[in-house]
């Protein structure tokens, strides 16, 4: 593989790994997310 191929591969894998890590970090560290989780029994119908 050429040096250009290595550079593109490292940038692609590094970028996707960074994005995955950032998304997981955001999901796990966002405060107050438990209040936003609703079950089907919590939602009301429009006619109520």
Does residue 28 carry a pLDDT above 90? no
Q: What is the mean pLDDT of the chain?
A: 83
Q: Which carries the bigger pLDDT value, residue 27 or residue 43?
A: 27
- Asked whether residue 20 carries a pLDDT value surpassing 80, the answer given is yes
How far from 32 is each of 17, 23, 25, CA to CA, in Å?
A: 26, 17, 15
pLDDT value, residue 18: 98
pLDDT bucket at 8, cuts 50 / 70 / 90: very high
Task: Give me the residue label for tokens 């209040």.
Answer: 35
How far is residue 33 from each of residues 11, 15, 28, 43, 44, measured CA to CA in Å? 32, 27, 9, 17, 20
């Amino acid at each position: 593989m050429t040096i250009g191929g290595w550079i593109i591969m490292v940038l692609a894998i590094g970028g996707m790994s960074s994005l995955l890590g950032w998304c997981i970090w955001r999901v796990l560290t966002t405060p107050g997310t438990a209040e936003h989780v609703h079950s089907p029994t919590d939602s009301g119908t429009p006619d109520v």
